[in-house]
Amino acid sequence: MAALRFLAALCALVAILALVSDATPSLSGRAPFDATSLEAHWQSISPSTLKSAQESLSKSVSPTAWNVLKWLALDRPTFVLFGLLAAILGYAGRRRRRIDIYVN
């Protein structure tokens, strides 16, 4: 459970960093708020892995699988996806309440 909470904290950190990098130009008055998609971040960090992931998914599963993945996840803002992932992992890794049941 501690590992899930740690992963939730890492995902929350990525979400906060992505939100701050997207919001900084609008807060300084240079441009309106524009959320960057996960695909755009992935393209800027490592374009070769994005292309290889697209090719391998298209070969192994189906060419439409990449389009579905892109529509479901890659076109969404990075801070939203990682924020949801942090919430899900945080909920899964929460401390459970212990109930003691004694039968006499």
| Sign of torsion over alpha carbons 15, 18, 23, 28 | positive
Q: How many residues does the chain have?
A: 104
Residue 101 has pLDDT above 90, yes or no: no
Residue 49 has pLDDT above 80, yes or no: yes
Helices marked H in the chain: 2-27, 38-45, 47-60, 63-69, 78-92
pLDDT, position 100 = 80
Find the mean pLDDT for residues 48-76. Answer: 90
Nearest to 90, CA basis, from 4, 15, 3, 2:
4
Domain annotation covers residue 104: no
CA distance 1 to 58: 35
Residues 53 and 71 in one domain: yes
Higher pLDDT, 16 or 26: 16
Residue 75 has pLDDT above 70, yes or no: yes
Residues 30 and 7 in one domain: yes
State which residues form the domain around 57.
37-76
Structural domains in the chain (count): 2
Residues 19 and 30 in one domain: yes
DSSP 8-class letter at 73: I
Are the CB atoms for 76 and 22 separated by under 8 Å? no
